[in-house]
Amino acid sequence: MTQNRFRITTVAAIVLLLIILVLIMVFTLTGVVPKESFSVEGFKVVIDASHGLPDKGLVGEITGKKESNYNLYTAQVLESRLNEMGVATVMTRKDSNALSDTRQDDLALRKRIITTNAPDAAISFEIGYREDKTFEGPQVYYSPSSEKGRILAEAVQEKLNEEFKIAGRKAESREEFITNAGDIPVIVIEYGNFSNPEDELLLRKKNYRMRVAGAVIRGLEAYAEAGN
Ligand SMILES: [Zn+2]
């Protein structure tokens, strides 16, 4: 009898201990994860790596590297970081090929992916080339007909400015087929410039693409936190 009672007490103590451990784990997890990282939770983001073979896009003058590849790598970094945060993503292309052999069809197919998915935001990655070769670092564009696009573009430009220590650069309005998508905010990010030698060398680095993606995510968070 005493032995049975001892066993029951031991089992009860172990069960109680397990319950306490589970509770500690639950409280620790909910307490440790900062709320801010969930501000884009529930968001769906379309990520567009512009160009794709046979369209190489720009080719670096020093490195001979193709813009189409860099756009894909940058899109992939953003995709994986958003997915880690639990944000749903749709890529317009997942390999080195464009969606069509003609630029016009390719753009139309990308736009269809954006409009049929109706995401909270769409980001198109591009590399810039300017007459002013001193212009360096990322520039964000939005459609003149999209108010939400402007808000998103300004939020992302601000975070890119912070990340790359750019003073006072503003997101710019530019008429473009891809960004003109009704209610859906679509922005184009020229995340570097092949016209600037320093940018061209930076664009080779994975770390640079990680920094771009990080700033884009902070921009998306600011956009979401503002109630968009
Ligand atoms: Zn391009």
Distances in whole angstroms, Cα of residue 36 to Cα of each of 41, 43, 106, 153: 10, 14, 36, 20
Residue located via tokens 């954006």: 114
Tell me the per-residue pLDDT of 50-97, one tens digit each, with 9 for 90 and over: 999 999 999 999 999 999 999 999 999 999 999 999 999 999 999 999
Dihedral pair phi/psi, residue 52, rounded to 5°: 135, 145
Rounded distance from Cα 67 to ligand 1 centre (Å): 7
Residue located via tokens 């066993």: 7
What contacts 71, CB < 8 A, 6 or more positions away? 49, 50, 51, 57, 125, 126, 127
Rounded distance from Cα 13 to ligand 1 centre (Å): 66
Q: What is the Cα Rg of the chain in Å?
A: 23
Tell me the per-residue pLDDT of 117-133, one tens digit each, with 9 for 90 and over: 999 999 999 999 999 99
Per-domain residue ranges for the chain?
A: 1-33, 34-225
pTM of the full predicted structure?
0.83
Rounded distance from Cα 162 to ligand 1 centre (Å): 24
The CATH superfamily label for domain 34-225 reads Zn-dependent exopeptidases (3.40.630.40)
